[in-house]
Structure 1
Amino acid sequence: MTDRTVRPGVMPLPGDTAQASSSRKGLALTLIALAQMMVVLDVSVVNVALPSIQGALGFSASNLEWVVNAYALTFGGLLLLGGRIADKYGQRRTFMAGAALLTVSSLLGGLAQDQAWLLSARAAQGVSGALIAPAALALLTSTFAEGAERNKAMGVYGAVSGIGGALGNVLGGVFTDELSWRWVLFINVPIGAFVLAAATRAFRESRPAGGRLDLPGALSVTAGMSLVVYGLINAASHSWGSTGTVVPLAVGGALLIAFLLIEARSASPLLPLRIFRNGNRSSAYAIMLAVGSALIVLFYFLTLYIQIVLRFSPLKTGFAFLTFAVGAAVFATLSSAVVARVGPRLLLSVGTLVSAGGMFWLSRIDADSAYFGSLFGPLLIAGSGIGLCFVPLTLAAVAGIRGEETGISSALLNASQQVGGALGLAVLGTVAATATRHRMEKLLPGSGGAGSKSSGPVPPQVQHAVNDSLAHGYSIGFLIAGFVLIGAAVIAATVIRVSSEDAARTDVAV
């Protein structure tokens, strides 16, 4: 028998190298998928637990949005900086630092005893996501060869991105109902520990690049977006002319203008503004903003509607979203398989239109709707449409871009989704709250638009009026989200110009 042991000074046989390489790549793809799953889950896994979190820590209806937005804003606002950190200090090192921070912040979040504690932990989770996401995409690029191998890995990555949101709702329901809302945060601890332990075996460290970190740019864009979102959320409980609304909006807007000035004058900008000169990339970012806003509105509003109006348990609520996950998974896989033949424009146009149809259907909900009659179909349709979008969006964002800017382009695409989600929830949450308050004042004159909470038993007719008002507010939110997706479909159909030939040649892994 041939001695196949690799000894010092002896070259390994070709079979040994191929087997080792295949094993390492399999582990690398597993870790990238797990890391991306953690990042995506953290956006949605808390959704089903929101009513339980609200009851346990005493959040108001408007402040509850910050459990979602504290993560989305730090994630989206710092993603570009995370990409620069990965370039400057090494992709594997950045990936592992992000995984370590996510593990620790998830543990601390699960132990939270008050609102500030939980929101701080959620913000730290967002910072960790901003480190993990661009580093994971860069590691995927450096680990898998361009062509069929990398496209297959991208298919897995795209499927994880597509189903992660819905899977988060399912897992959130299971943990909240069977254990505690705290376990929707604890879930990352064992996964993060495994990713950390295996990362050094799966990935080689990249060569650090030069350049400075644009901290002023990162701080100004993150603070600016946070203040704008705060002002929009404040308008839901106060007025558009109140100090708590006007001042944050004005200061936030000024900081965002300052960010653009900083980037225009910086020698090493966080966001090279020339990226937006390409119509395909600018359109991809705009479409992702729309998709991100629609996704967060769907998960956030439907979670509250299903639990408060339909009276589902957290477990049952989680599984109610499984329909969305199935549609997203199936069509994300299909999208990855056909995008090189049909090009991204067709898939994006169809995907956003289909998702808009799901949103319009959801806008018909009321206090007496049933799951299979009013939710099952639109969830399947919306999930299928969203699943069609992720891979062609990535391809449109990086088609024809210079190699040194692929990382920043993909990071900006991720940032667009998170910022779109935060803005969408802030704007449509305010619209929904206003519509709910007006409906309540109409149905129960003199109630002052009071919420559904009461110190004593609520008469059935009053409870029905409350449920009707909530459903009305959510339905207005879904209707507007549908029109936002129609706008995205128009952009996809009229501006995207990546042909099927370009798609077949383009490196879609970044």
Structure 2
Amino acid sequence: MTTTATSTRAPAAPAATQATGPAHPRAILAVILVSYFLILLDNSVIFTGLPSIAAALRLDATGLSWVQDAYTLVFGGLLLLGARLGDLLGRRRVFVAGLAVFVTASFLVGVAPTGWWLIAARAVQGVGAAVVAPSALSLLTASFPAGPQRSRAVAWYAATAGIGASLGLLVGGAAAQWVSWRAGFFINVPLGIAMAVLAPRYLPAVERQRGRFDVTGAAAATLAVAALVFGVLESVDRGWASPVVLVALAGSAVLFVVLVLHERRAEQPIMPLHLFADRRRWGAYAARALYLGAMMGFFFFTTQLMQGVLGFTAFQAGLGFLPMTAVNFAVATAVPRLTARVGDATMLVAGVVLTLAGMAWLAQVDQSSSYATAVALPMVLIGAGQGLAFAPLTSFGIAGAHAADAGAASGLVNTAHQLGTAAGLAVLVAASSSAVDLTGRVSTALSWGTGLLVACLVVAVAVIVPAERRSRA
């Protein structure tokens, strides 16, 4: 079964507008970034509220893990499908529809009376997020012409990605301590409605692509990514040798093979394989997955360190990430100027090196460590590294992609993001499970996170940097 989208053309923009950029760049950027921030917020706002959720809804450890995993599984599984829907049905229209689903699901999360309701609503949130995330990046690419304007826009997008998780912990901690864990999700409702109302006014009506929907590719991509995420998530509780985990991972591998074989001969593939022909792009996907795997472990275990070892409350733990968040934001705002001076490749390598140094320092934590020297100072390095690394990782992920492939390239950037967070956290949790106490688990996990960053640095230096030099030459 296929569906065909008719082509609807927006009025052609005057040549001066095309050359100078959009008429309302700040409004466009605000709508895109606030919407993207809401998605990132809900990826981490749940962490500091988990104890309150468990007590209020009587969830055991397995049920509590699915509160987060349901969102991650659906979000990661549907990203490529969401990107293709934007191409065929119109990115602005799909963006607004995704926001509507996300806002509705956020309200349902906030009023959840039982655990199963909460988990189901989190899954629906994942559906909305999988539509909004790739549409946001492709709309940003379509709105700003290549050059300084797009570099600045991508830098702000990357800054949002960098600070979203840490601010989510702060918002979640404040809500859980002073109001309710539900308040963190109710925030999405008025903000999401406002963005959905403003989007048709300011976002460009990007021309739909004429074509057919690749049902086989969509099914294979969705099921392959979902099976991979499911297997990785279940490995945390069941272990890597569990039959459930092995079947899920094997099924994912088979589905990925089916996807590649199908996409090689599909007329209008959901995942164009030529996107992987550019070493900058596929290197950026791999590096992003490795980087995000380390960073999700950093947030997950450092939160536990501050609350379980240093005695912080949930809100204090959220505040504890401010050294990283403040430095991240300051560095990210300087990225456009730095890009013009040293280039994306140099910034990426410098960012990964700084993050690696901060993670290795933080991994030395023990029972006698203090917040100031063992946590806050390493966070300054990690924040600076994030601020430098995220923009080039995003830019390289869409580098050289044609307008017709903008949705697919954006979908792959976000898929690498989600797969990296899910797989990285599972690996770090498994690696640290043999430690005898919480401090040991945190130290072991962050040491493994340092290893992921070493691998990320190797990809950057061996794959992305040489490809970027050849491209410039």
Q: TM-score, normalised by structure 1?
A: 0.82
Query: For residue 471 of structure 1, what is the amino acid of its counterpart?
Result: T
Correspondence 1:316 to 2:316: yes
**177 and 84 in structure 1: CA distance in 2 versus 1, 3 angstrom threshold:** same
The equivalent residue for 2:254 is 254
The equivalent residue for 2:206 is 206
The equivalent residue for 1:446 is none
**395 and 369 in structure 1: CA distance in 2 versus 1, 3 angstrom threshold:** same
Do the aligned partners of 2:283 and 2:463 also contact (CA within 8 Å) in 1? yes
Give the 3-state SS of the residue equivalent to 2:212 in structure 1.
coil
Shift of 1:33: 1.6
**85 and 395 in structure 1: CA distance in 2 versus 1, 3 angstrom threshold:** same
Deviations 1:93-137 (A, max 9, x none): 111101101100111111223333222222222221221122222
**146 and 399 in structure 1: CA distance in 2 versus 1, 3 angstrom threshold:** closer
Correspondence 1:472 to 2:472: no
- Following the alignment from structure 1 to structure 2, what is the Cα–Cα distance between the partners of residues 498 and 327? 30
**251 and 499 in structure 1: CA distance in 2 versus 1, 3 angstrom threshold:** closer
User: For structure 1, which runs of at least 5 residues remain unmatched after alignment?
Assistant: 1-13, 440-468, 506-510
Query: For residue 162 of structure 2, what is the amino acid of its counterpart?
Result: G
Shift of 1:304: 2.4
**368 and 187 in structure 1: CA distance in 2 versus 1, 3 angstrom threshold:** farther
The equivalent residue for 1:485 is 453
Shift of 1:422: 0.8
- Following the alignment from structure 1 to structure 2, what is the Cα–Cα distance between the partners of residues 270 and 147? 28
- Following the alignment from structure 1 to structure 2, what is the Cα–Cα distance between the partners of residues 81 and 403? 18
The equivalent residue for 1:461 is none
Do the aligned partners of 2:99 and 2:132 also contact (CA within 8 Å) in 1? yes
Query: For residue 117 of structure 2, what is the amino acid of its counterpart?
Result: W
Deviations 1:444-467 (A, max 9, x none): xxxxxxxxxxxxxxxxxxxxxxxx
Query: For residue 30 of structure 1, what is the amino acid of its counterpart?
Result: A
- Following the alignment from structure 1 to structure 2, what is the Cα–Cα distance between the partners of residues 22 and 93? 19
Shift of 1:369: 3.0
Give the 3-state SS of the residue equivalent to 1:48 in structure 2.
helix
Shift of 1:88: 0.8
The equivalent residue for 2:174 is 174
- Following the alignment from structure 2 to structure 1, what is the Cα–Cα distance between the partners of residues 302 and 239? 26
Shift of 1:233: 4.0
**238 and 495 in structure 1: CA distance in 2 versus 1, 3 angstrom threshold:** closer
Give the 3-state SS of the residue equivalent to 2:206 in structure 1.
coil
Query: For residue 403 of structure 1, what is the amino acid of its counterpart?
Result: A
**44 and 231 in structure 1: CA distance in 2 versus 1, 3 angstrom threshold:** same
Shift of 1:351: 1.0
Query: For residue 92 of structure 1, what is the amino acid of its counterpart?
Result: R
**470 and 224 in structure 1: CA distance in 2 versus 1, 3 angstrom threshold:** farther
Shift of 1:239: 4.5
Query: For residue 46 of structure 2, what is the amino acid of its counterpart?
Result: V
Moved more, 282-291 or 215-224: 215-224
Query: For residue 27 of structure 1, what is the amino acid of its counterpart?
Result: A
- Following the alignment from structure 2 to structure 1, what is the Cα–Cα distance between the partners of residues 237 and 144? 50
Do the aligned partners of 1:85 and 1:94 also contact (CA within 8 Å) in 2? yes
Give the 3-state SS of the residue equivalent to 1:435 in structure 2.
coil
Shift of 1:478: 0.7
The equivalent residue for 1:508 is none
- Following the alignment from structure 2 to structure 1, what is the Cα–Cα distance between the partners of residues 31 and 79? 20
Larger radius of gyration: 1
**418 and 106 in structure 1: CA distance in 2 versus 1, 3 angstrom threshold:** same
- Following the alignment from structure 1 to structure 2, what is the Cα–Cα distance between the partners of residues 418 and 126? 11
The equivalent residue for 2:37 is 37
Correspondence 1:430 to 2:430: yes
**36 and 277 in structure 1: CA distance in 2 versus 1, 3 angstrom threshold:** same
Give the 3-state SS of the residue equivalent to 2:48 in structure 1.
coil
Do the aligned partners of 1:343 and 1:499 also contact (CA within 8 Å) in 2? no
Shift of 1:483: 0.9
Query: For residue 289 of structure 2, what is the amino acid of its counterpart?
Result: L
- Following the alignment from structure 1 to structure 2, what is the Cα–Cα distance between the partners of residues 26 and 241? 51
Q: TM-score, normalised by structure 2?
A: 0.88
The equivalent residue for 1:371 is 371
The equivalent residue for 2:95 is 95
Do the aligned partners of 1:399 and 1:498 also contact (CA within 8 Å) in 2? no
Do the aligned partners of 1:350 and 1:489 also contact (CA within 8 Å) in 2? no
Shift of 1:318: 0.9
- Following the alignment from structure 2 to structure 1, what is the Cα–Cα distance between the partners of residues 343 and 82? 30
- Following the alignment from structure 2 to structure 1, what is the Cα–Cα distance between the partners of residues 184 and 196? 20
Deviations 1:118-171 (A, max 9, x none): 222222222212211222223223333443333333332222222212111111
- Aligned-pair identity in percent equals 36
Give the 3-state SS of the residue equivalent to 1:42 in structure 2.
helix
Give the 3-state SS of the residue equivalent to 2:439 in structure 1.
helix
- Following the alignment from structure 1 to structure 2, what is the Cα–Cα distance between the partners of residues 324 and 62? 31
User: For structure 2, which runs of at least 5 residues remain unmatched after alignment?
Assistant: 1-13
**491 and 248 in structure 1: CA distance in 2 versus 1, 3 angstrom threshold:** closer
- Following the alignment from structure 2 to structure 1, what is the Cα–Cα distance between the partners of residues 467 and 408? 19
**219 and 370 in structure 1: CA distance in 2 versus 1, 3 angstrom threshold:** farther
Shift of 1:502: 6.1
Moved more, 422-431 or 240-249: 240-249
Do the aligned partners of 1:367 and 1:471 also contact (CA within 8 Å) in 2? yes
Do the aligned partners of 1:162 and 1:386 also contact (CA within 8 Å) in 2? yes
Aligned length: 455
Deviations 1:412-459 (A, max 9, x none): 112101111011112222222x223xx2xxxxxxxxxxxxxxxxxxxx
For the aligned residue pairs, the C-alpha RMSD in angstroms reads 2.6
1:184-223 to 2 correspondences below 5 Å: 184-223=184-223
Do the aligned partners of 1:47 and 1:299 also contact (CA within 8 Å) in 2? no
Query: For residue 251 of structure 1, what is the amino acid of its counterpart?
Result: G
Correspondence 1:495 to 2:449: no
Shift of 1:374: 1.4
Do the aligned partners of 2:156 and 2:332 also contact (CA within 8 Å) in 1? no
Correspondence 1:67 to 2:67: yes
- Following the alignment from structure 1 to structure 2, what is the Cα–Cα distance between the partners of residues 339 and 221? 34
The equivalent residue for 1:162 is 162
**264 and 359 in structure 1: CA distance in 2 versus 1, 3 angstrom threshold:** same
Shift of 1:64: 3.6
**150 and 229 in structure 1: CA distance in 2 versus 1, 3 angstrom threshold:** closer
- Following the alignment from structure 1 to structure 2, what is the Cα–Cα distance between the partners of residues 61 and 355? 31
Do the aligned partners of 2:280 and 2:468 also contact (CA within 8 Å) in 1? no
Moved more, 92-101 or 303-312: 303-312
- Following the alignment from structure 1 to structure 2, what is the Cα–Cα distance between the partners of residues 298 and 38? 21
- Following the alignment from structure 2 to structure 1, what is the Cα–Cα distance between the partners of residues 177 and 407? 40
1:304-453 to 2 correspondences below 5 Å: 304-432=304-432, 434-436=433-435, 439=436
Do the aligned partners of 1:83 and 1:134 also contact (CA within 8 Å) in 2? yes
Moved more, 114-123 or 353-362: 114-123
**110 and 376 in structure 1: CA distance in 2 versus 1, 3 angstrom threshold:** same
- Following the alignment from structure 2 to structure 1, what is the Cα–Cα distance between the partners of residues 208 and 404? 13
Shift of 1:243: 3.1
**251 and 333 in structure 1: CA distance in 2 versus 1, 3 angstrom threshold:** same
Query: For residue 197 of structure 2, what is the amino acid of its counterpart?
Result: A
Do the aligned partners of 1:349 and 1:490 also contact (CA within 8 Å) in 2? no
Shift of 1:359: 1.5
- Following the alignment from structure 1 to structure 2, what is the Cα–Cα distance between the partners of residues 152 and 273? 29
